[in-house]
Chain A
Amino acid sequence: MAPSSLLKAALIGNPNSGKTSLFNQLTGLNQKIGNFPGVTVDKKTGISKLTVDQQAEIIDLPGTYSLYPKSADEQVVMDYLFDAFLKATPDFLIVVIDASTLERNLLLFTQVRDLGFPVILALNMLDLAERDGKKIDIPTLSKKLNVPVVAVNARTGEGIEKIKAAMACPLHNAPERYFKPVEIAPAVISAVKSHMKIDNDYMALLLAHQYEGMLSLSAYDKAAIDAIVKENKFQSYSIQSTETLKRYDLIRGIIKDSISLPPVSFEKNRWSERIDKVLTHKVYGFALFFAVLFVMFQAIFAWAQYPMDLIDGLMGFLKQTLQEALPSGSLTDLLTEGVIAGLGGVLIFIPQIAILFGFVAVLEETGYMSRVMYIMDKVMRQFGLSGKSVVPLISGVACAVPAIMATRSIDNWKERLITIFVTPFMSCSARIPVYTVLIALVIPSRPILGIFNLQGIVMMALYLLGFLAAILSALVLHWILRSKERGYFIMELPTYKMPRWKNVGLAIIEKVKTFVFEAGKVILAISIVLWVLATYGPKEGMQEAKIAGEREAIAKGFTPAETENYIASKKLEASYAGHFGKFIEPGIRPLGFDWKIGIALITSFAAREVFIGTMATIYSIGDQAEDTDSVVQKMSKEKDPQTGAAYYNVARSLSLLVFYVFAMQCMSTLAVVYRETKSWKWPIAQFIFMTAVAYVSSFVVYSLFE
């Protein structure tokens, strides 16, 4: 058998053209996500088996309407094409075209062709075009455009074999020049061409327009092009506008013979519009949106519980098995208490993240999410946010890390920055265990109005509190930040479609992977560091703690298991973490917290739910019974050494709850904010701001209730 050869291809097309569906059809589960160099936009690549001995590596480029980028996502396309142009990779580009809006989709096609890339045109959504009464003559279109045109249905998978066959055939489309930029800007083009040593007029023109934003240009080249542009008084806007109009003229000429439009009287397919009238209605629209949110949160709380219990049980089993099988020692402890516990802390969140992003994917697939952005935009704008901020804010309820990455679709930098800044205020899944314990501790389970439970209402109030903090902080930032850059809300509302479950499934896998690899590695690393801090301490202190613990245990007549747990808590007190806790105690005393809570606040930096485990150790429950009930029980028995009353009284518990609602206690989030904003300024500002809000609110709550 001949050795298999690997072709390289890239998928490019308008948003909503079905590009990602086609990518999923071609590659299936053979996908991996990486990063484009220098930016944080996800780079999805996959392998597609074309024939027995030929495979293609396909890159799914972000959707764009033209080669003039207006967001971070779109900039990637231009940088990728420039790089591909210089290196003469890939072998070809597949331009995905939505046949129902053929004219607009062909704009990008002509631009790509003018760069000289070999192209296969994948004509998608012909069924939609036909429903609109449009008929497309594919052979004529192919002849006119001088490229292979393959009809596909990315939803059903129809035509996938044909496109694979077209990819396997060597491609020889002659270079085409649709638009002749030399006519508009001859001097600039020839100067850029000779400086960059390239021979393509259109690439030279694109560089003259976009050199400032290009990530793949060196500072030297940027300066040179800048000089050329200034010297020739290059009118970027008017030239771009001339180009686009010229292209539309050309496109109309080309498709004139290959498309037959419906007669004017033809009642266009307006069902999507009729659905819109209901879904964007000022009463029904909002009512439906809140109903969807309600179901979503219900699902996160109720459905996720089963798989979460399962994961919890499995990790517990694994830990116990390893502890029994391996010789006892610090290495085993590191593995079981540090690594396994950290891993468990990561895996436990997967069900909630999968469910939430499953919902988001379905809403996006159906086209409903665009309508949510549409109806929420005016409201969100009052707070300096955009309708597009809705998705990150909702996602923040699962985990802020993928939520912050979802802000990339917001074109306006100020709106995006504010969204990034306030998203961590949304109560994420890691806060739930903390809320549960503290609520169970002081809020009685009492029915309210017959159907509600007081504990449930307090839980909801905490979510609301987080949301209010997000939205009010956005308002503050809206006043502080000044921006001349304009935000667009010029956005296509795609027609409603049934969700493709394959796409939903792949989207879930993608988000879970993001969480595990982005947030997970930080959580794991910090868990290990914290384990070390909580296990080791100044040598003499640790020794004394052990001896004192043993002595006191005998005096109190503890069983061997109780003794072990008691010693563990004594050792924690003497450890580095204990010292830290005592070090910050003066600072947190106004909030009603002692050094024990101080340790929990510090360990919460790995993930907030570590609070429970820390409390379990501090109150010497031992790790065999690390469940919520025993922690609650133990904490409720803790007495205030001065007054003898319950230590975790209403004031202290509420103060702690409020602190966890507001405080920035997540390293993974800070890391992702740094990456997305490319500066330490924003994560630091966020940390200080959120911690300050938490501190002040806790102080107020504690003073009020005490």
Chain B
Amino acid sequence: MTKIPKSVADLKPGEKGTVCCFNDEVMSLKFLEMGCLPGSEVELSHKAPFGDPICIRVGGYALSMRLKEAATIMLID
């Protein structure tokens, strides 16, 4: 069985991961300038009511994004 690659959208609150790459070029530019880089450690802090958007911790600060956007940040498993 092939493993489905995991993205930031799959994290549970409190769960950590390391960014591997992005699957959307335009979106990735915004993440890069916000300091969310390949190799950065991210942690899901909390989700908004209704589970979307979410807030992650990266580079020492809190970054919120919609689930759709979070799904473009792939994690190393």
Give B1-34 as 1s and 0s: 1 = Cβ < 8 Å from A's Cβ atoms: 0000000000000000000000001111111111
Query: A374–B64 contact, CB under 8 A?
Result: yes
Contact of B55 among A65, A245, A374 (CB under 8 A): A374
User: Please, which residues of chain B bring their CB within 8 A of the CB of A276?
Assistant: 45-46, 55, 62
Query: A490–B35 contact, CB under 8 A?
Result: no
Query: B33–A281 contact, CB under 8 A?
Result: no
User: Please, which residues of chain B bring their CB within 8 A of the CB of A104?
Assistant: 34-35, 59, 61
B60 shortest CB reach to chain A, Å: 5
Give A54-85 as 1s and 0s: 1 = Cβ < 8 Å from B's Cβ atoms: 00000000000110101000000000000000
Query: B46–A273 contact, CB under 8 A?
Result: yes
User: Please, which residues of chain A bring their CB within 8 A of the CB of B32?
Assistant: 241, 244-245, 248
CB nearest to B37 among chain A residues: A248
Q: A472-502: which residues lie under 8 A (CB-CB) from chain B? A: 486, 488-495
Interface with B: A165-173, A353-361, A375-383, A677-685, which one? A375-383
**Among A244, A277, A381: residue with most chain B CB under 10 A:** A244
- The total of interchain contacts (Cβ-Cβ below 8 angstroms) comes to 113
CB nearest to B40 among chain A residues: A248
Query: B48–A374 contact, CB under 8 A?
Result: yes
Q: Is B65 an interface residue (CB 8 A)?
A: yes
Q: A241-B28, A378-B50, A489-B65 are in contact. Are A101 and B33 (CB under 8 A)?
A: no
Query: A103–B35 contact, CB under 8 A?
Result: yes
Query: A489–B45 contact, CB under 8 A?
Result: no
Q: A237-B29, A248-B37, A486-B26 are in contact. Are A272 and B50 (CB under 8 A)?
A: no
Query: A237–B52 contact, CB under 8 A?
Result: no
On chain B, which size bracket covers the interface?
Answer: 20 to 34
Give A276-303 as 1s and 0s: 1 = Cβ < 8 Å from B's Cβ atoms: 1100111001100000000000000000
Q: How far is the CA of A237 from the CA of B27 in the complex (A)?
A: 10
User: Please, which residues of chain B bring their CB within 8 A of the CB of A237?
Assistant: 25-26, 29
Query: B53–A387 contact, CB under 8 A?
Result: yes
A249 shortest CB reach to chain B, Å: 9
Query: B48–A280 contact, CB under 8 A?
Result: yes
Query: B60–A100 contact, CB under 8 A?
Result: yes
B11 shortest CB reach to chain A, Å: 15
Contact of A492 among B26, B34, B46 (CB under 8 A): B34
B22 shortest CB reach to chain A, Å: 9
User: Please, which residues of chain B bring their CB within 8 A of the CB of A240?
Assistant: 29
Q: How far is the CA of A379 from the CA of B27 in the complex (A)?
A: 23
User: Please, which residues of chain A bring their CB within 8 A of the CB of B63?
Assistant: 490-493
A312 shortest CB reach to chain B, Å: 43
User: Please, which residues of chain A bring their CB within 8 A of the CB of B65?
Assistant: 489-491
Q: How far is the CA of A493 from the CA of B61 in the complex (A)?
A: 8
Query: B33–A107 contact, CB under 8 A?
Result: yes
Q: How far is the CA of A132 from the CA of B57 in the complex (A)?
A: 14
CB nearest to B63 among chain A residues: A492
Query: B50–A379 contact, CB under 8 A?
Result: yes
Q: A273-B45, A490-B69 are in contact. Are A374 and B53 (CB under 8 A)?
A: yes
Query: A65–B34 contact, CB under 8 A?
Result: yes
CB nearest to B60 among chain A residues: A101
Query: A493–B29 contact, CB under 8 A?
Result: no
User: Please, which residues of chain B bring their CB within 8 A of the CB of A556?
Assistant: none
Query: B61–A488 contact, CB under 8 A?
Result: no
Query: A490–B30 contact, CB under 8 A?
Result: yes
Q: A612-629: which residues lie under 8 A (CB-CB) from chain B? A: none
Query: A493–B60 contact, CB under 8 A?
Result: no
Q: Is A233 an interface residue (CB 8 A)?
A: no
A252 shortest CB reach to chain B, Å: 10
Q: Is A539 an interface residue (CB 8 A)?
A: no
Q: How far is the CA of A379 from the CA of B50 in the complex (A)?
A: 9
Give B33-77 as 1s and 0s: 1 = Cβ < 8 Å from A's Cβ atoms: 111011000000110111111010101111111100100000000
A626 shortest CB reach to chain B, Å: 48
B18 shortest CB reach to chain A, Å: 14
CB nearest to B65 among chain A residues: A490
Q: A341-398: which residues lie under 8 A (CB-CB) from chain B? A: 370, 374-375, 377-379, 381, 387
CB nearest to A107 among chain B residues: B33
Query: B62–A378 contact, CB under 8 A?
Result: no
Contact of B34 among A132, A374, A490 (CB under 8 A): A490
Q: A273-B45, A378-B49, A491-B64 are in contact. Are A244 and B55 (CB under 8 A)?
A: no
Q: A93-124: which residues lie under 8 A (CB-CB) from chain B? A: 100-101, 103-104, 107
Query: B49–A280 contact, CB under 8 A?
Result: yes
Q: Is A218 an interface residue (CB 8 A)?
A: no
Q: Is A559 an interface residue (CB 8 A)?
A: no
Q: A491-B64, A492-B34 are in contact. Are A103 and B57 (CB under 8 A)?
A: no
A496 shortest CB reach to chain B, Å: 10
User: Please, which residues of chain A bring their CB within 8 A of the CB of B46?
Assistant: 273, 276-277, 280
Q: A486-532: which residues lie under 8 A (CB-CB) from chain B? A: 486, 488-495
Q: How far is the CA of A374 from the CA of B50 in the complex (A)?
A: 11
Q: How far is the CA of A494 from the CA of B60 in the complex (A)?
A: 11
Q: Is A268 an interface residue (CB 8 A)?
A: yes
Supply 15 further A-B pairs (C-beta < 8 A) apart from A104-B35, A241-B29. A107-B33, A237-B25, A238-B25, A240-B29, A245-B37, A245-B38, A272-B62, A273-B62, A374-B53, A374-B64, A377-B52, A378-B52, A379-B50, A490-B69, A495-B62
Residues of B in contact with A (beta carbons under 8 Å apart): 25-35, 37-38, 45-46, 48-53, 55, 57, 59-66, 69
A-B contact pairs, 13 of them (CB 8 A): A68-B33, A237-B25, A238-B25, A245-B38, A248-B35, A273-B45, A280-B48, A280-B49, A281-B49, A378-B51, A488-B69, A490-B64, A495-B62
